[in-house]
Chains A and B, each alone.
Chain A
Amino acid sequence: MSLLCVEGLVVGYSAADEVLKGVDFSVDIGEIVGVIGPNGAGKSTLLKSIAGLLKPGRGSILMNGESIGGRAPRDISRMGVAYVPQEQNIFPTMSVRENLEMGGYIDPAGCGRKIELAFERFPILSKRRRVASRALSGGERQILAMAMALMVEPKVLLLDEPSAGLSPIAAEDLFDNIVAVNRAGVSIAMVEQNAREALTIAHRAYILVDGRNHRDGPAAMLAGDPDIRRIFLGA
């Protein structure tokens, strides 16, 4: 059984305005799973629904076999699912250290130890621990947002377009960090506009089009598919 398993997920503002129209999706232990597709395909909606920010209309979302669909974000977070929004994913006037503390708000036990662990894992944050986080660069903000999510020691990390707006160098650095987090034992579901990079680091990937599953499979296979290369990778 998958760690995170979504089946037939329908999410929308009304019956006539469905964003997800029956999506299947899963993440196994130790995987990086990419989600790519054109704008408006429902990629971010999928992650927000898993995180509890949007209520599913139909379908199921299971974490370790237990239904999490429609639960409050804090309950879903307690069950080991941490979500990193694409934007506005830090507390701008608070210091880097305080942001990490708030990242682990629901599980304050051992907070100091977990913050030190975060500083060891991401030395760039350690150097800037007392700085108000609004002063961080775009790449540093994304790393902080990810480090905040890791404070609850999740089993699955949901990353919503982490490289959006970053320079190529900052994006590359961020992807290296994502791979390192995954190697440390955290499964990752990642929505990305940067399909080429996403397929490079992911083990498997899903392609969503118009709120439905279009293709899925091993990332290397999808990256080698001529149609996908032409449509999504610009090759």
Chain B
Amino acid sequence: MPPLLAEVAQLVVNGMMAGAILAVPAIGLTAIYAVLRFPNFALASHATIGAFAGYIANAKLGLPILPSVMVAFLAAGAVGVVTDEAVLKQFRPAGFITTAIASIALTIALENIVRFGFGNELRGYALPIERDWRFGSIRVGPQQVQNLAIAAVAMAALFCFLTFTRTGKAMRAVADNPMLASIKGINADMISRLVNFVGMGLAGLGGMLIGLDTTIDPLTGFRSILSVFAAAVVGGLGSIPGAVIGALTVGIGEELCLLFLSPDYRSAVGFVAILLVLTLRPRGILGQRADA
């Protein structure tokens, strides 16, 4: 394979891996948006909280990666429910812009609580050192593949929950038409707690997956929130399949930009993606207005 083609193929593979991981918190963001109708930027700190909860389980308590990932999901999900009930819920009657701004304030507060407890230094999970697998000229790390598998299982589990369970369908019903859902007796408070748990749990899981690929610190979530937000917007805010497509687009885009630009400019891809989508197709790739 010619060197340039090999490099492009490697970057596309890396981008797909990164995109699949990005899809997990992006689904969380879009699911919360679909039900509660505001972009919850506190997702950033919940990703960090998940990453640190997983770190405690893995590096401090000695649990393997898979149970640690569960801990990351559960811890971030539980914090998500509590912070929404204690803070963001009070802002919702004031409208989505006020609530979104409150979520930024909340994320700064939570991030600093993590900083207070753990300091600013970079931390890594207890991972075995393994050789990359080679497929021709393409190299793939075993940990990357495991991360991809965890992300895929999480997405498949969410799909099954939303498609086959009564509660999952009720969640989609509230996202589709909250007034009718209320008429049909669906408890909106229960659904909003559930979507916060699942959405922030996915953020925490995503935060740990990002950390498994690199390191973690109190800014882990903050650094990735732009890409997560870009993925959700590109796919169409409120659309879960859209979030997956958006995440893959942003993930591959961020990697391919390395062909031309220094890695410092990688996050510009998110900005450009949001700009392009809002200019050319504001509803995103799969987003649509509920017009019934």
Residues in chain B near residue A24, CB distance under 8 A: none
- The stretch of B127-135, B182-190, B222-230 in contact with A is B182-190
Is there an interface contact between A101 and B291, defined as CB atoms closer than 8 Å? Answer: no
- Interface residue ranges of B155-194 to A (CB < 8 Å): 166, 169-170, 172-173, 176-177, 179-187
Is there an interface contact between B173 and A102, defined as CB atoms closer than 8 Å? Answer: yes
Is there an interface contact between A108 and B177, defined as CB atoms closer than 8 Å? Answer: no
- Interface residue ranges of B63-83 to A (CB < 8 Å): none
Is there an interface contact between B184 and A53, defined as CB atoms closer than 8 Å? Answer: no
CB proximity of A69 to chain B, nearest CB, Å: 17
| B61 part of interface (Cβ distance < 8 Å) | no
Report whether over half of chain B's contact residues are helix, strand or loop; otherwise say mixed.
helix
By CB atoms of chain A within 10 A, which of B172, B288, B292 has the most? B292
| B94 part of interface (Cβ distance < 8 Å) | no
By CB atoms of chain A within 10 A, which of B166, B183, B291 has the most? B183
CB proximity of A141 to chain B, nearest CB, Å: 7
| B290 part of interface (Cβ distance < 8 Å) | yes
Is there an interface contact between A88 and B180, defined as CB atoms closer than 8 Å? Answer: yes
B176 in complex: contacting residue of A53, A77, A92, CB < 8 Å: A92
Residues in chain A near residue B183, CB distance under 8 A: 51, 53, 73, 77, 83, 85
Residues in chain A near residue B166, CB distance under 8 A: 101, 105, 108
Is there an interface contact between B185 and A91, defined as CB atoms closer than 8 Å? Answer: no
Instruction: Mark interface residues in B257-292 (1 if CB within 8 Å of A CB, else 0).
Output: 000000000000000000000000000000010111
Whose C-beta in chain B lies nearest to the C-beta of A134?
A: B292
Given A53-B183, A73-B185, A89-B180, residue A102 in contact with residue B292 (CB < 8 A)? no
Number of interface residues of A (CB under 8 A): 26
For the complex, what is the distance from the CA of A180 to the CA of B117, rounded to whole Å?
A: 68
Residues in chain B near residue A77, CB distance under 8 A: 183-185
Instruction: Mark interface residues in B225-261 (1 if CB within 8 Å of A CB, else 0).
Output: 0000000000000000000000000000000000000
Instruction: Mark interface residues in A87-125 (1 if CB within 8 Å of B CB, else 0).
Output: 011111110001001110110100000000000000000
Is there an interface contact between A90 and B173, defined as CB atoms closer than 8 Å? Answer: no
| A33 part of interface (Cβ distance < 8 Å) | no
Residues in chain A near residue B176, CB distance under 8 A: 91-94
Residues in chain A near residue B170, CB distance under 8 A: 102, 105
Whose C-beta in chain A lies nearest to the C-beta of B187?
A: A74
For the complex, what is the distance from the CA of A26 to the CA of B180, rounded to whole Å?
A: 25
| A133 part of interface (Cβ distance < 8 Å) | yes
Whose C-beta in chain A lies nearest to the C-beta of B239?
A: A93
Residues in chain B near residue A134, CB distance under 8 A: 290-292
Is there an interface contact between A90 and B292, defined as CB atoms closer than 8 Å? Answer: yes
CB proximity of B173 to chain A, nearest CB, Å: 5
Is there an interface contact between B172 and A141, defined as CB atoms closer than 8 Å? Answer: no
- Interface residue ranges of A55-78 to B (CB < 8 Å): 73-74, 77-78
CB proximity of B170 to chain A, nearest CB, Å: 6
A105 in complex: contacting residue of B179, B186, B290, CB < 8 Å: B186
For the complex, what is the distance from the CA of A102 to the CA of B181, rounded to whole Å?
A: 8
Whose C-beta in chain A lies nearest to the C-beta of B166?
A: A108
Residues in chain B near residue A90, CB distance under 8 A: 177, 180, 292
For the complex, what is the distance from the CA of A90 to the CA of B173, rounded to whole Å?
A: 9
Is there an interface contact between A85 and B179, defined as CB atoms closer than 8 Å? Answer: yes
For the complex, what is the distance from the CA of A141 to the CA of B187, rounded to whole Å?
A: 24
Residues in chain B near residue A108, CB distance under 8 A: 166
Given A108-B166, A134-B291, residue A91 in contact with residue B172 (CB < 8 A)? yes
For the complex, what is the distance from the CA of A85 to the CA of B183, rounded to whole Å?
A: 9
Is there an interface contact between B291 and A102, defined as CB atoms closer than 8 Å? Answer: no
Is there an interface contact between B291 and A92, defined as CB atoms closer than 8 Å? Answer: yes
| A207 part of interface (Cβ distance < 8 Å) | no
For the complex, what is the distance from the CA of A171 to the CA of B288, rounded to whole Å?
A: 28
Given A98-B169, A102-B169, residue A92 in contact with residue B292 (CB < 8 A)? yes
For the complex, what is the distance from the CA of A5 to the CA of B174, rounded to whole Å?
A: 31
Residues in chain A near residue B169, CB distance under 8 A: 94, 98, 101-102
| A148 part of interface (Cβ distance < 8 Å) | yes
For the complex, what is the distance from the CA of A85 to the CA of B292, rounded to whole Å?
A: 12
For the complex, what is the distance from the CA of A51 to the CA of B176, rounded to whole Å?
A: 21
A residues apposed to B, CB below 8 Å: 51, 53, 73-74, 77-78, 83, 85, 88-94, 98, 101-103, 105-106, 108, 133-134, 141, 148
**24 pairs, A vs B, C-beta closer than 8 Å:** A53-B183, A73-B185, A74-B185, A77-B183, A85-B179, A88-B290, A88-B292, A89-B180, A90-B292, A91-B177, A91-B180, A92-B291, A92-B292, A93-B288, A94-B169, A94-B173, A98-B172, A102-B169, A102-B173, A105-B173, A105-B185, A106-B184, A134-B291, A141-B292
